[in-house]
Amino acid sequence: MRRYDIEIGYLCQSRKFCWIGYRLYDIGCDSGFGCATAKRLDSLGFEVFATVLDTNSEGAQDLLRTCSSRLTLLQVDITQPQQVQQALMDTRAKLGLRGLWGLVNNAGVCVHFGDSELSLVSNFRGCMEVNFFGTLSVTQSFLPLLRRAKGRIVTISSPAGDLPFPCLSAYGSSKAALNLFMNTLRHELTQWGVNVSTVLPAAFKTGQSSNQAYWEQQHKNLLQSLSPSLLEEYGEDYLSETKDLFQSHARTANPDLSPVVNTIVEALLTPSLSRATTPGPGWDSCTSSTATAPSASATSSSRNCSCRRS
């Protein structure tokens, strides 16, 4: 299973918005939003703890080359409780008695695309393990430090968690669980002075989603998992059309990650902001009418989705 764009961040407590001296813990900086956010915050003067799945990866080495000496590279997989707890202990050792100003969750993996009937239960579990349970584990672990600082939680989710996009039921279900958890947490943490924001990016070129070979492999895995009867009833042409649509939309995804990075930084630093959205056209065109069989028009609307206040 390929996990990508997994990000967690924190900033140490300060009574003033003085950027120099802030500490940020950033998980999942191998590529995508995590890598771009780590670079941006480092350039603003934050002390960044960037965590990656592989310290020898191209993205990890790029961070070491381009960022200042304030950046520390760590290896963390949020689906491994021992690694999450080790990250927490490392954080406490650096902070001492100070709390955390900000936590940014950006866990994202899509292990399967296809109609719900064609999806294995393991596909749903794979998405939930990273997109929901991993984020839940990290958020619960760091909450005591966040409450101490009356800090921020910023979670990167997806419009697929709010709208029924065809062929993304496994991914969308995990994001729906994440959205509801964060919405509930927003109310529960009000008494502690902790703000909770959710960002729902549109289609951006991040991680494996922009890799054409990834979609080909997904299609191959789908064909191999189907029973002969299901394959005959749905037909290979239908499955190939679905794959081609996803590939075409991946090719036209936005390579500029700055709208999302800007929103993350704004959510962390704006004193009164409790909810965040990513600017961009297309959200109004995304309605429940997308809950139909895959078609060019339905999938086109999902490609253009930006974000809305959650």
Query: Active-site residue numbers?
Result: 171
3-state secondary structure the chain: CCCECCCCCCCECCCCCCCCCCEEEEECCCCHHHHHHHHHHHHCCCEEEEEECCCCCHHHHHHHHHCCCCCEEEECCCCCHHHHHHHHHHHHHHHCCCCECEEEECCECCCCCECHHHCCHHHHHHHHHHHHHHHHHHHHHHHHHHHHHCCEEEEECCHHHCCCCCCEHHHHHHHHHHHHHHHHHHHHCHHHCCEEEEECCCCECCHHHHCHHHHHHHHHHHHHHCCHHHHHHHCHHHHHHHHHHHHHHHHCCECCCHHHHHHHHHHHHCCCCCCCCCCCCCHHHCCHHHCCCCCHHHHHHHHHCCCCCC
